[in-house]
Amino acid sequence: MKKIFLIIVIFFPVLLFSQMQTGEYPYAFNKNIVLDERSIYSIDDFNVQKYLDEDFANIYKSSYRFAINYEVNINLNTFTFNEEKDFKVGYFKINVKNALGISLIFKNFNLPEGAKIFIFDEKKKYLLGAYTKENNKQTGVLPVRFVPSESIIIELQLPNGVDLEDDMFISDIGVAYRNIIDDSDWCEIDINCNDDERLQKLKKSTLKIVFQEDKSKAYYACTGTMVANTTFDNTPYFITANHCVNTETEANSTVFYFNYEKTECEGDIFFDDKTISGASLIATADEHLDFSLLLLSEIPPVEYEPFYAGWDRSEDYSDTSICIHHPAGDVKKISFDYDVLDLSSFRGYDANKHWKIVEWDEGTTEGGSSGSGLFTTEMLLIGDLSGGDASCDYNYNDVYQQFYHCWDDYNLPEKQLKSWLDPFDFEPSKMYGYDPYENIDLDVPVNFSLFLNDSVVNISWEKPASTPDKYFIYRNLELIEQVTSPQTIYDIISADGVYVYYATAIYGDEESKPSQMKSFVYGDTSSIPKVTEIRIYPNPTNNILNILTPDTIPIIKIEVYDPLGKMTRFYTVDEQRYTTIDLSGLENSYYFLKIYTIGDTYLEKIIFIREN
């Protein structure tokens, strides 16, 4: 007996998310402030040459250390406050002699309504903020980017009658001993020295990242790529190397730099003000594969000009390879190899699962390029940089972890890309990239609907306010029909699985964003394979979810997250092997279960479908 569940899913909300900062000015910019000794924290033992010597002694092609860390515990409630008319304002100063930059990590960051934090240098040339309650993270961690100065001042504004949580504090002070501006080698090529329109779009997917390593607590620079998933829902996934970021704590500490590049070829002007702080670690295969999939803490707003790169998960060799990267933490660069890729291995990772660049023809890579994407001439991602020998003086032997093997070599969702980049199991060999804000002003088909009669899908829609030249109809990302006017389209299906349909409107050579998408699961839902040591059923589900673990894995608690990483449900379990949870009331979509057991944590994908 066939079972058919109809679901309605809106995947493309056009939303403007809050920026990291508000663009306001601190109170101190209009008033001279005097700080007493209780409000000043000084570090006098910082030795630049010591850390440069350490790097020279341990040099290898990997992530790029540029700053060290001082662990502190500076409670924001200890600031000395002055009462003003409608608010009180407190200040704290941090001095580090010979520092080339200072950053902070806040813990238990939870600003109340109306509270503001600003961070600026003593000469008031460099400003971060205002940070507000919009910057509160689920993790409670807020890393802020480096201010290029030997001293910084923190201004905290609180409305009268409002206090902070008692445990909000600064836990870490990062101190830079390298200048990561214009610090890359002589043969590197500025990204804007190439005017190929496709590359100019693709470059926006490449981000510089700065993070704090767990073991040493030092700060490193790497590179990575914003990447598309098959639902077009703008989930801010980001791929970098496992040897860069491989723990949840490191992901929480990461700052992502958008459009960090010279405005002109070999020019002098660049901007580093478009950043997002914090991420979650979604998937990584640790010692097996050198990749990590992160989820940024927010969707990049339109002014960040984001681009979600497409990918190619086939094993085909590329005859031209392109790398966009941030060598030595510098502004964005580009490198080319015009030869066929070789296969290779890298350090202790799985053998023969890397692409090898035998020799770069233009440009090179350096420390800080780690995690950067390797792209084909179709502008599709096929790997991320693990390391190698290449430099301006010896431009040979770079290796990239193959996207193909990261896809699903390992079955568990937390060790693969497939569960996240293709949540409904469309299994495309290629996924093309897109600008989430491109053509958002084009009217889309309206009242898109499906009607199922046994195995026949009746598809209909209505004309938008403007008149398109034609309409494209898609099933599971594939174009199945194009017509010049709204009409009923019939599609016959036979195989069990998930089916997603949508329409777009074509105006000249421009295509609108998708209409409302509609989906259904056709056939026995048990036909969708799930391989895990924890059994979750039924999946998809329309209400109750059963969770069964082996004898040795009792459950402690369960969290349910939506596709953007927001917790929607929380359940406590009294160390049971079997439990049920009620998901009624959720929107139709896919979700992630985070299952806590004694000694471990498991992440699983589920699909929630309301039965009509």
Asked whether the predicted pLDDT for residue 526 surpasses 70, the reply is no
Among candidates 276, 272, 275, which has minimal Cα distance to 295? 276
In whole angstroms, give the CA distance from residue 376 to residue 477. 21
Q: How far is CA 411 from CA 284, 530, 531, in A?
A: 12, 9, 6
The larger pLDDT score, comparing residue 496 to residue 521, is at: 496
Q: Enumerate the H helices of 367-507 as residue ranges.
A: 403-408, 418-421
Q: Each residue of 386-428: pLDDT tens digit?
A: 999 999 999 999 999 999 999 999 988 889 999 889 887 888 9
Cα distance between residue 358 and residue 335, in whole Å: 13
CATH of domain 4-14+439-522: 2.60.40.10
Cis peptide leading into 236, omega within 30 of 0?
Answer: no
> Per-domain residue ranges for the chain?
4-14+439-522, 33-176, 195-310+409-421, 312-404, 532-608
Query: Residue 530: which pLDDT band, with cuts at 50, 70 and 90?
Result: very low
Closest CA to 77 of 103, 111, 43: 111
- Which one is the CATH code of 195-310+409-421: 3.30.1490.100, 2.40.160.20, 3.30.420.40, 2.40.10.10? 2.40.10.10
| Low-confidence winner among 35-49, 113-127, 324-338, 508-522 (lowest mean pLDDT) | 508-522
Evaluated on CA atoms 380, 226, 513, 192, the torsion sign reads negative
Question: What CATH number belongs to 33-176?
Answer: 2.60.120
One-letter amino acid at 240 equals: T
Please give the Cα distance from 574 to 42 (Å, whole number).
48
pLDDT the model gives residue 52: 92
Highest CATH level, class, for 532-608: mainly beta
Q: How far is CA 27 from the centre of its chain?
A: 33
Which residue in this structure is represented by tokens 């589900």?
541
pLDDT at 313: 94
Q: Percent helix, strand and coil across the chain, each rounded to 5?
A: 10, 45, 45
Phi then psi dihedrals of residue 218, to 5 deg: -75, 165
> CA-to-CA distance for 15 and 13, rounded, in angstroms?
6
pLDDT tens string 278-321: 998 999 999 999 999 999 999 999 999 999 999 999 988 778 99
Question: What top-level class would CATH report for the domain 312-404?
Answer: mainly beta
Tell whether the torsion through CA atoms of 411, 413, 414 and 416 is positive or negative. positive
Q: Is the pLDDT of residue 16 over 80?
A: no
Question: What pLDDT score does 21 carry?
Answer: 57
CA distance 374 to 276: 23
Burial of 570 (0-12, 13-18, 19+ CB in 10 A): exposed
What is the β-pairing status of strands 40-43 and 87-96?
parallel
pLDDT exceeds 80 at position 521: no
Q: Which residue has the higher pLDDT, 146 or 500?
A: 146
The tens digit of pLDDT for each residue in 442-474 reads: 999 999 999 888 899 999 999 999 999 999 999
Residue 564 pLDDT grade (very low, low, confident, very high; cuts 50, 70, 90): confident
More confident residue, 106 or 548: 106
CA 89 to chain centre: 34
| pLDDT at position 37 | 85
- Whole-angstrom Cα distance, residue 255 to residue 279? 8
State the pLDDT at residue 3.
39
Digit-coded pLDDT (tens) for 53-96: 998 877 654 679 999 999 999 999 888 888 888 899 999 999 99
How far apart are alpha carbons 325 and 470 in whole angstroms? 39
How far, in Å, CA of 491 to CA of 475, rounded?
Answer: 9
Amino acid at 234: N
Helix (H) or strand (E) holding 209: strand 206-212
Secondary structure (3-state) at 83: strand
Q: Which amino acid is at 25?
A: Y
**Same CATH fold assignment for domains 312-404 and 532-608:** no
Q: What is the pLDDT of residues 96-140, one digit of tens each?
A: 999 999 999 999 999 999 999 999 999 999 999 899 999 998 889
* 243-263 residues labelled b (16+ CB within 10 A) or e (exposed): bbbbbbebbbbbbbbbbbbbe
270: pLDDT strictly greater than 50 = yes
Helices (H), 127-247: 197-202
Listed range (73-87, 339-353, 391-405, 587-601) with the worst mean pLDDT: 587-601
Q: Which residues contact 515 (CB under 8 A, 6 or more apart)?
A: 444, 445, 446, 448, 461, 502, 503, 504
Interval 555-568 mean pLDDT? 84
User: Measured between alpha carbons, how far is 334 from 373 in angstroms, rounded to an integer?
Assistant: 11
The DSSP bridge partners found for residue 547 are 536, 579
